Structure 1
Amino acid sequence: MRRPISPTSNNSRIYILQLTASLGVLVLIVRLFFIQVLGHEKYKALAQDQYWNLQEIPAKRGDILSSDSYKLATTQVSFLLYAQPKVLLNINDAAQRLSETLTSFVVFEDERSRLEYKEKTYAKIYDSLNLDLYWVRLASGLDPDQKAAIESLGITGIGFEEQPARYYPEGSLASHVLGFVASNEEGNPQGYFGIEGALNGDLQGRPGRIVEERDALGNPILVGGYKRIDSIDGRDISLSINRAVQYMVESRLKEGVETYGAISGSVIVMDPFTGDVIAMANYPTYDPTDFSDFGMSEEENLEGGKKKIERTNLAISQTYEPGSVIKSLTVSAGIDLGKIVPESTFVDAGPVVYSDYTINNWDGRHHGVQTIVQLLQKSNNIGAAWVGHLVGASSIVEYFRNFGLGNVTGIELEGEDTGLIKDADTLTDIDLATMSFGQGMSATPLQVLNAFNSIVNGGNLMRPRIVQKIIESDRVIDIPAQVLRRVISKEASATMTGMLTQAVSGGESRYFNLKGYDIAGKTGTAQIPVNGKYDPSKTNATFIGYLPTSKKFTMLVKLQEPSSSTYASETAVPLWMQIANDLVNYYGIAPDDPSAVEPLKSPQLISEDPEAPKEESAVGVVEDVPEDSILEQ
């Protein structure tokens, strides 16, 4: 028998229903509050996304041009190869055929390298095709011919997307100046190193976009809303680099590094009056289109160390102790201060002790009374230390820094090092002595040449200029030459030119001189410090010079650890002369003495004259140098 429903029970059920309904309404109100008030912008954007389509219009990356208007870097169309694994009929067959075709696009030194590359390519493609994805990327940067070769395979489930690719028409020419373009963490192209990195913002431009209204099916509405913002292409950059000179310099540098068994080499050619970098080369070099190992760890990239050296612009990023080329700066400071004149004399009677450490000449010989001209001709360490102490610690540091040492030059390239010049109040007597002939300090090749330019051009320190023009669609922005400051007087500059000319004509460099041409310059051979001590078998060889009559260019040649000889006079000097010979022919520079002109000796030939003096070396120069005076390379 069914029990009757009591009024109390019925009321409870009604109450529960009312409470449930009220809670439901409350939840709905709260939800609507979050959607319409707190989440208004979010849901408005989602709604707009359903009815508005956004397309990006890519901007064209700017070109990089040589001073003679050749394209050194530009952008061309390339193709990305992708696959749809779920559509492929035979993954193994597709991986085999694609890896074989992609391998055929690469040039190898031997069959073993080709097979290893093919196996790695096959493994990567096979693994990608077995991913549980609808779309996978297989390769990029393919040109139209390579695209056609892959299309001819007739593989179902692969396709191509058009994409811009950076192209370097001259190959590896000026690669350290240019840098390269690769994908950043977001997958967007970005410049790294060189001009590509330093001026990435100017080169990359700004992408545009198209916004159009569409219906519920995603189709454009013909009479709907439409907005277009055009892209702004990147700026073109015109460099001071002369394509022909750059090519000559790179070719000669490669020959020189190989001939003299050096680890690396750098050559810089500049206009001393404008600061223009006419050529800047390093060897080893690299291909800016090959950055497949960029960003890999050393475990992933077995040649990581080698690649790092190849990609490093040694001319601006590698500091070293320049050695006796710095004597020209020390002497110019003394001349400018009026402390010495070319005929001033000092006594070279034997080794000299500073702070309980002994300074000696590079060859252990001593010459009695010597003039300042003879100091430069014989690269006399005793004399350089004497001039340094005559000038004084405070003044020598001030002059060196005014010459631009110990600070970046400001050139528009990524990765410039500052070098090191110690503060005057920290210098001991031995520090001042060694600094005066270019040891116990560090600088980059560019800093050394730019400082030397101040001696050549009348006494002004110029900011090195490698970007001459920035070109937009409707205007050209000229980058003017910039004088940073006066370092020495015009009179001191003229005096130094005369002395440096005598240093070459009467010094060790005369054995490889360009016959018929006056040359002013200075050699430098400096031992490389290893574990706190100078290693007599490892040197950096440098020659820096110019033609004093025309002053058309200045040039620095630096070789790291040449094995054929430790002396700059037998390595850097003949290489400098060979390049200078090319340059006088290229520029049509008339000889100072036409009757004396004769063919230049081959750079492979070392003077057989038994009386020919060797270039100064740091061997035996300083005995027991304190560790804090030695700079790690």
Structure 2
Amino acid sequence: MTKKIFIKKYRFMVVLIFICTLFIALAGRLFYVMVVMSPKYKTIADEQQKSEIQINAKRGRILDRNANELAMSMDVYRIDLDLKTIRQTLTNSAMTSDELANKLAIILNMKAEGITKILNTTLPNGLPASSAVLKREVEKPEADKIKALKIRGIIVSPDTERYYMNGNFLSNVLGHVNSDGKGVSGVELSYNKELSGVSGNIIYEKDVKNNQLPYEDPKYVQPVDGKDVVLTIDEIIQDYVEKAAQKALEDNKAKAVNIIVMNPKNGEILAMASKPSLDLNNPSNISSNSKEVQKLWKNASVQDNFEPGSIFKVITAASALESNTGTNDTYIDNGSIKIGNTVIHCWNLDGHGKQSFVDIIKNSCNVGFVELGLKLGKDKLISFAQKMGFGEKTGIDLPGESSGVLRNTNKTNDVDLATLAFGQGVAVTQVQYMAAFNAVANGGTWVKPHIMKDIVHFDDNNIMSIDKQYSDYGKRNVFDANLALNLRQDLVKVVTEGVGQNAFVEGLDIAGKTGTAQVADAETGKYAAGKYMSSFAGMAPAAEPKITLLVSVDEPEGSNYYAGEISAPVARDLFKQIFNYIAIKGEENVLGK
């Protein structure tokens, strides 16, 4: 009897253990399915049961300082594919994907093979995708033809196309967007986040036949349109600069021309142009050479280094004034000077003879500045140049800025110091030079150059609200105000009596400096024969400058390459136009408060 009870108990325990083991296994499996694999299965279920269509936000506009449109997004259409529905449609209509691709290709001017590939899009896990984008920026006639096909699963919805109001106007500054509408250069890249806005979407659930469930309303998330970016650019001044740069390019058969106009008090860029330039609405027609196109996309004023030549003498002269070195001395120029075994010539091979500090500035005397540089010494000159921002990025709100090249004092010998004093052996960008030049113009304050003025939005009544104002000025005092005034007065004589007389405008009191620098050969590293960069930096009126500008003509053709003949006349014409405009519109309306 006892044995039978034991056997029964044993059997019961075995069954109980088996049931418990089975229960634990089932519980473990359920835990694995419901917890561990839940995200994966949920994703698969969502892909099978839900369809999502993204709705892009309308990209904000780019405006000049007076709210004139420079870039905007135009209403077009996009073609999206609900691939599940299309697969069912093809099955029901006995149509192949190749046949559908051929119909779409004719309308959309696409290759049928490319459309077939899109129709067969798969997910990373290899499963067929539920949706795909067929084409963006489709014009209305084509969109209407697609609708007329009446093929379930092809979704035609509103889209936007980026349009630039004036083709190649300000093209290197504005930049451009890619096929997805994202900024890839210029302002479009720097302020892509503000311009882009936030995309919305439509999500709806579908039954096993891919039809929308009748009891389920689509979930609609409205897109938030991008903000508008107001630039410091004045469209009128920019137009003057664009035309002046193009004329200088053609008249001199130059490699390139770059011009920048600024407000020296606050670092605002009023105009910036590089020629040749791209038509932003049709960049592919500029050149078949992709490297050439990429080069044209660059903003030379921000990204390209150049040896400034004699416009750098402004910096050397400022350093001498600050340290009270050589400003009361006499300089003798016989046409050349020997430093060690190196002979350095003045641009005037006959020499300028006996000169004062002011004379070597107005005559742009290389020999005089070599002597001045040696009197200053490398520590003083290089330290002052660093203080003025050379050898480092300005932090301008445009992409791809270069930092320039400034020698380290430990690697600078007397010949290096001599050439640095008159602007060779140093590389700068236009914005970098202008930040230093502006410090002379505004009384000694370095201010960060910038292109953005405000981030704004407009309500339904077209009333503008400012969301953000530019505030990152990075101001620092780098030069004494009285010394800056003295230097400006010396620079006036460059225009009235010296090498910059072709920039003279009656009654305007322009202070400026010419610069003619040899151009280095990128392959050999040596100066290329017959190639020069001709520049003119100017400010007006000298007593309290409202405008500064820099004109650089790269490799003018022919024997006439001196900046006084090439760049100074361009500056003169621009000063006339800009100050006539200011007189008509009023200083506050043009330059702001």
TM-score > 0.5 by shorter chain: yes
How far, CA to CA, are the matches of 2:466 and 2:268 in structure 1?
22
TM-score, normalised with respect to structure 2: 0.80
How far, CA to CA, are the matches of 1:378 and 1:65 in structure 2?
43
Task: Call closer, same or farther: CA 1:532–1:90 in 2, change over 3 Å.
Answer: closer
Provide Cα deviations, 1:137-188, integer angstroms capped at 9, x if missing partner. 886434336656x779x889898554222121232211111111103xxxx4
Structure 2 contact 168–278 (Cα < 8 Å) conserved: yes
Deviates more, 1:532-541 or 1:434-443: 532-541
Is residue 2:279 matched to residue 1:287?
yes
Task: Call closer, same or farther: CA 1:138–1:210 in 2, change over 3 Å.
Answer: closer
Provide Cα deviations, 1:365-420, integer angstroms capped at 9, x if missing partner. 22332111110121111111122222221121121112111111111101111101
| Structure 1 residue 92: Cα displacement | 8.2
The answer for the alignment partner of 2:7 in structure 1 is none
The answer for the alignment partner of 2:444 in structure 1 is 459
The answer for the alignment partner of 1:395 in structure 2 is 380
Residue 159 of structure 2 aligns with an amino acid whose one-letter code is: Q
How far, CA to CA, are the matches of 1:505 and 1:176 in structure 2?
34
Provide Cα deviations, 1:499-535, integer angstroms capped at 9, x if missing partner. 0000111113214532343221000010112213222
The answer for the alignment partner of 1:318 in structure 2 is 304
Match of 1:173 among 140, 149, 169: 169
The answer for the alignment partner of 2:127 in structure 1 is none
Structure 2 contact 80–156 (Cα < 8 Å) conserved: yes
Task: Call closer, same or farther: CA 1:142–1:39 in 2, change over 3 Å.
Answer: closer
Residue identity (%): 29
Is residue 2:406 matched to residue 1:421?
yes
Residue 509 of structure 1 aligns with an amino acid whose one-letter code is: G
Is residue 2:323 matched to residue 1:337?
yes
The answer for the alignment partner of 1:35 in structure 2 is 33
Is residue 2:499 matched to residue 1:534?
no
SS at match of 1:269: strand
| Structure 1 residue 475: Cα displacement | 4.7
Match of 1:405 among 374, 379, 390: 390
Residue 73 of structure 2 aligns with an amino acid whose one-letter code is: T
Residue 65 of structure 2 aligns with an amino acid whose one-letter code is: S
Provide Cα deviations, 1:462-500, integer angstroms capped at 9, x if missing partner. 111211111257652221372521111001110011000
Is residue 2:577 matched to residue 1:582?
yes
How far, CA to CA, are the matches of 1:305 and 1:126 in structure 2?
30
Match of 1:193 among 185, 206, 222: 185
Is residue 2:295 matched to residue 1:309?
yes
Task: Call closer, same or farther: CA 1:356–1:160 in 2, change over 3 Å.
Answer: same
The answer for the alignment partner of 1:559 in structure 2 is 553
Task: Call closer, same or farther: CA 1:438–1:145 in 2, change over 3 Å.
Answer: farther
Provide Cα deviations, 1:17-74, integer angstroms capped at 9, x if missing partner. xxxxxx9999988765542342123223434555555443432222111101012112
Provide Cα deviations, 1:437-481, integer angstroms capped at 9, x if missing partner. 110010011111221111111011111121111125765222137
| Structure 1 residue 314: Cα displacement | 0.7
Match of 2:258 among 258, 262, 266: 266
| Structure 1 residue 544: Cα displacement | 0.7
Task: Call closer, same or farther: CA 1:89–1:281 in 2, change over 3 Å.
Answer: same
How far, CA to CA, are the matches of 1:82 and 1:37 in structure 2?
34
How far, CA to CA, are the matches of 1:454 and 1:279 in structure 2?
19
How far, CA to CA, are the matches of 2:579 and 2:555 in structure 1?
28
Provide Cα deviations, 1:177-208, integer angstroms capped at 9, x if missing partner. 1111103xxxx431011111112122212223
Structure 1 contact 316–416 (Cα < 8 Å) conserved: yes
Deviates more, 1:207-216 or 1:350-359: 207-216
Provide Cα deviations, 1:224-271, integer angstroms capped at 9, x if missing partner. 687655433322211100011111210121111011010111000000
The answer for the alignment partner of 2:125 in structure 1 is none
Residue 312 of structure 1 aligns with an amino acid whose one-letter code is: K
Match of 1:256 among 248, 252, 256: 248
How far, CA to CA, are the matches of 2:140 and 2:46 in structure 1?
39
Residue 533 of structure 2 aligns with an amino acid whose one-letter code is: N
Structure 1 contact 405–447 (Cα < 8 Å) conserved: yes
How far, CA to CA, are the matches of 2:116 and 2:205 in structure 1?
38
Alignment gaps of 5+ in structure 2: 1-20, 87-94, 122-131, 459-464, 586-593
Task: Call closer, same or farther: CA 1:529–1:226 in 2, change over 3 Å.
Answer: closer
Q: How does 1:237-256 map to 2 (within 5 A)?
A: 237-256=229-248
The answer for the alignment partner of 2:346 in structure 1 is 361
How far, CA to CA, are the matches of 1:90 and 1:59 in structure 2?
30
Residue 485 of structure 1 aligns with an amino acid whose one-letter code is: R
Is residue 2:60 matched to residue 1:62?
yes
| Structure 1 residue 364: Cα displacement | 1.7
Task: Call closer, same or farther: CA 1:589–1:130 in 2, change over 3 Å.
Answer: closer
Task: Call closer, same or farther: CA 1:513–1:155 in 2, change over 3 Å.
Answer: farther
Residue 319 of structure 1 aligns with an amino acid whose one-letter code is: N
How far, CA to CA, are the matches of 2:415 and 2:165 in structure 1?
52
SS at match of 1:388: helix
